[in-house]
Amino acid sequence: AKSSEDGIFSKGEMQYFGPIQLSPSAGVLNYGQGIFEGLKAYRKADGSILLFRPEENAMRMRSGAERMCMPSPTVEHFVDAVKQTVLANKRWVPPPGKGALYIRPLLMGSGSVLGLAPAPEYTFLIFVSPVGNYFKEGLAPINLLVDDKVHRATPGGTGCVKTIVNYAPVLQAQSRAKAKGYSDVLYLDAVHNKYLEEVSSCNVFAVKDKVISTPAMNGTILPGITRKSIIEVSRSLGFQVEERLVPIEELLDADEVFCTGTAVVVSPVGSITYHGRRVEYGNNGVGIVSQQLYSALTTLQMGLADDNLGWTITVN
């Protein structure tokens, strides 16, 4: 779908996956006006296909678009477009237990600009791809490296927006960590270099004496939909959850640590390395709370129990 000059998006149409045409002077290519979302569709045993809180993705795209000086589709338009795209690609939704259809909505400045300014026209598109389960055989812990030389976001920047411009700056730190055998990088805040922010594409939680802590939303962290859902699920299971500044020392002293995100769902952290010191977490890194939250969340997302929270939408 394309926006007109007044920022209203047309209805859009289905196209086969393939290259798209963009002007070399498109706003997205020159000034980074691009935002994306990520969500998954799961197939239930009865064949129906479920989406998990897609209106949350729509709202996050809308608030991010404002920061990036872009118009955005309405929540209704966004959710309807996601549904139509999944329906048109029904056969690519894996069978129950075999993964999900990953859905990638993209919003970009497709109009031409030469001097620095917002693009005059925008394109909203959605592509999909089947993905396997993140964990092939049960939960497997990930190993994180704290990199205090690289920051993914600074106060006043765009850290809380799911914009394409936040991802290029972490590629170097991430590939350096992977080359050393780590799963990913954990970033600290850019001002004090001491408080947890997040991992390259997921949020982070610490568990100590049954209390769950996670960095508060301060403008530099992406407001993960899995994060928000896990906070709600944890509270409903009787856990105390604190959203606040979490110093790195506290993480190193935690009983267990886990990450949340659409791709990783709930990923237990097996070890964290900070300034050359490696801390390993108990139960081979797969903590009891992480396990409990993983199954509570996936039960909902995969439609394995009644959805009393109204978090899922049936597409077909």
Is 215 one of the binding residues for ligand PMP (CB under 6 A)?
no
- At 88 the three-state DSSP class reads helix
Q: CB-wise, 85 or 262, nearer to ligand PMP?
A: 262
Closest CA to 70 of 102, 105, 32: 32
Quick one: which segment of 92-100, 111-119, 133-141, 256-264 binds ligand PMP (CB under 6 A)?
A: 256-264
Nearer Cβ to ligand PMP (12/105): 105
Q: Which residue's CB is nearer to ligand PMP, number 252 or number 263?
A: 263
Which is the catalytic residue, given 162, 178, 210, 228?
A: 162
Should residue 225 be labelled a site residue for ligand PMP when binding is judged by CB under 6 A?
yes
224 binds ligand PMP per the rule CB under 6 A: yes
Please report how close the Cβ of residue 68 comes to ligand PMP at its closest, in angstroms: 15
Asked if 203 touches ligand PMP (CB under 6 A), the answer is yes
- Local structure of 131: helix, strand or coil: strand
Between the CA atoms of 163, 312, 232 and 140, what dihedral angle is there, to the nearest 10 degrees? Answer: -70
C-alpha dist (Å) from residue 235 to 124, 213, 261, 299: 36, 12, 18, 17
**Per-residue binder mask for ligand PMP (CB under 6 A), 146-185, x = binder:** ----------------x-----------------------
Cα–Cα distance measured from residue 128 to residue 30, given in angstroms and rounded to the nearest whole number: 25
**Cβ closer to ligand PMP: 3 or 262?**
262
Residues 6+ away with beta carbon under 8 Å from 24? none
Euclidean distance between CA atoms 59 and 122, whole angstroms: 18
Cβ 261 to ligand PMP shortest distance, Å: 4
CA–CA dist 134, 139 (Å, integer): 9
Tell me if 227 contacts ligand PMP by CB under 6 A: yes
Q: Interface residues with ligand PMP (CB under 6 A)?
A: 38, 162, 198, 201-203, 222, 224-227, 260-262
